[in-house]
């Protein structure tokens, strides 16, 4: 008789093998996210994505050929007691040995009039890098998934006036020898939601008070809804948006940026 924890773990590699496990291991392999001897800090927000990430990496550590270490960190930016309680309860159900550390991010962001979500994300990452480095880690793992990637591409076009994606891994410019990885990169959000429902798990959403106020930046939700609307007519829309970042035809672009420098198509037009 399997325990609930064991049933949840088993569901990842059996029931959701095609939608989750295979895509997780493909991202690890194709983007070379884990190397021998790595120590990875799995950054857990308490949401469905980061909790699934923790379990997938745990399974990879148990059964994979590459030897690496994991630690699970939860930053408390000022959560309400009931939110923190739910995170702890889910960690117990899933058997995740989390380490909680405090920050004052919510207090700082509360004073921000514009772009609170952007500031919160930037500050969170800095705190997570610093904590991971203190623990002797060389990488932090975040729970961004396929839908986060394609939403980011559309956001950059519609609201940033540029083409920018979310890479599967990124070297830190502020923390020496530290790297960010996104192992859920190829997994659709709908698959994660189905996994949570199948296992009767309830996770927190964003616990910031801006989520329940008119101040919240709803542009990402707007992109999410747009993609769902388009996919209802053409199921390949999401995949095509994703592929566009792999198939950029530089010869047709008016300009590009590299290492902070802008280039025009006219620079090499007559050569």
Q: What is the pLDDT of residues 41-72, one digit of tens each?
A: 999 999 999 999 999 999 999 999 999 999 99
What distance in Å separates the CA atoms of residue 201 and residue 176, rounded to the nearest whole number? Answer: 37
Q: What is the pLDDT of residue 216?
A: 46
Taking residues 79-101, report their average pLDDT.
93
Tokens of 217: 């930046």
| d(C-alpha 20, C-alpha 15), whole Å | 9
Could you tell me the CATH number of the domain that includes residue 142?
A: 3.40.50.620
Structural domain contains residue 167: yes
Q: Would residue 201 count as lying in a domain?
A: yes
What does the pLDDT look like over 176-231, one tens digit per residue?
A: 999 999 999 999 999 999 999 999 999 988 655 555 444 445 889 999 999 999 99
* Angstrom distance (rounded) from CA 25 to CA 136: 25
Alpha carbon distance 253, 120 (integer Å): 33
Q: Is residue 15 assigned to a domain? A: yes
> How many Cα atoms occupy the beta-carbon half-sphere of 266 within 13 Å?
1
Has residue 271 been placed in a domain?
A: no
Q: Residue 207: its pLDDT value, please?
A: 55
The mean pLDDT of the chain is 91
Q: Please check whether residue 253 is in contact with residue 265, taking contact to mean a CB–CB distance below 8 angstroms.
A: yes
> How many domains are contained in the chain?
1
Task: Give CA separation, 258 vs 2, 227, 262, in Å.
Answer: 53, 29, 7
| pLDDT above 60: residue 107 | no
Q: Could you tell me where the beta strands, DSSP code E, fall in 172-250?
A: 179-181
Asked whether residue 163 is assigned to any structural domain, the reply reads yes
Is 267 within the bounds of a domain?
no
Q: Is residue 92 part of a domain?
A: yes
Judge whether 254 lies within some domain: no
pLDDT at 214: 41
Model pTM above 0.85:
yes
- Report pLDDT for 109: 61
Q: Judge contact between 7 and 13, C-beta under 8 A.
A: no
* Strands 98-102, 179-181: pairing kind: unpaired
Give the residue numbers spanning the domain of 137: 4-247
């Amino acid at each position: 008789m399997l325990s609930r924890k064991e049933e949840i773990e088993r569901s990842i590699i059996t029931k959701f093998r095609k939608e989750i496990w295979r895509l997780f291991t493909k991202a690890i392999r194709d983007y070379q996210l884990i190397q021998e001897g790595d120590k990875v800090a799995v950054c857990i927000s308490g949401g469905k994505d980061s909790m699934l990430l923790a379990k997938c990496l745990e399974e990879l550590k148990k059964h994979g050929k590459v030897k690496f270490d994991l630690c699970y960190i939860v930053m408390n930016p000022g959560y309400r007691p009931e939110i923190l309680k739910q995170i702890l309860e889910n960690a117990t159900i899933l058997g995740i040995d989390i380490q909680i550390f405090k920050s004052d991010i919510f207090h700082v962001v509360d004073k921000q009039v514009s772009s609170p979500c952007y500031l919160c994300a930037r500050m969170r990452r800095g705190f997570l890098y610093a904590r991971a480095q203190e623990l002797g880690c060389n990488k932090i793992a975040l729970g961004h998934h396929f839908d986060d990637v394609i939403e980011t591409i559309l956001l950059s076009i519609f609201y940033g006036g540029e083409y920018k994606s979310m890479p599967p891994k990124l070297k830190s410019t502020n923390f020496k020898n530290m790297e960010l990885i996104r192992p859920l990169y190829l997994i659709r959000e709908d698959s994660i939601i189905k996994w949570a429902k199948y296992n009767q798990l309830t996770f927190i959403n964003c616990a910031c008070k801006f989520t329940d106020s008119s101040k919240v930046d709803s542009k990402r939700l707007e992109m999410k809804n747009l993609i769902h609307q388009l996919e209802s007519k053409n199921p390949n829309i999401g995949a095509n948006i994703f592929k566009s970042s792999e198939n950029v035809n530089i010869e047709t672009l008016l300009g590009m940026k590299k290492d902070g420098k802008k280039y025009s198509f006219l620079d090499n037009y007559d050569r």
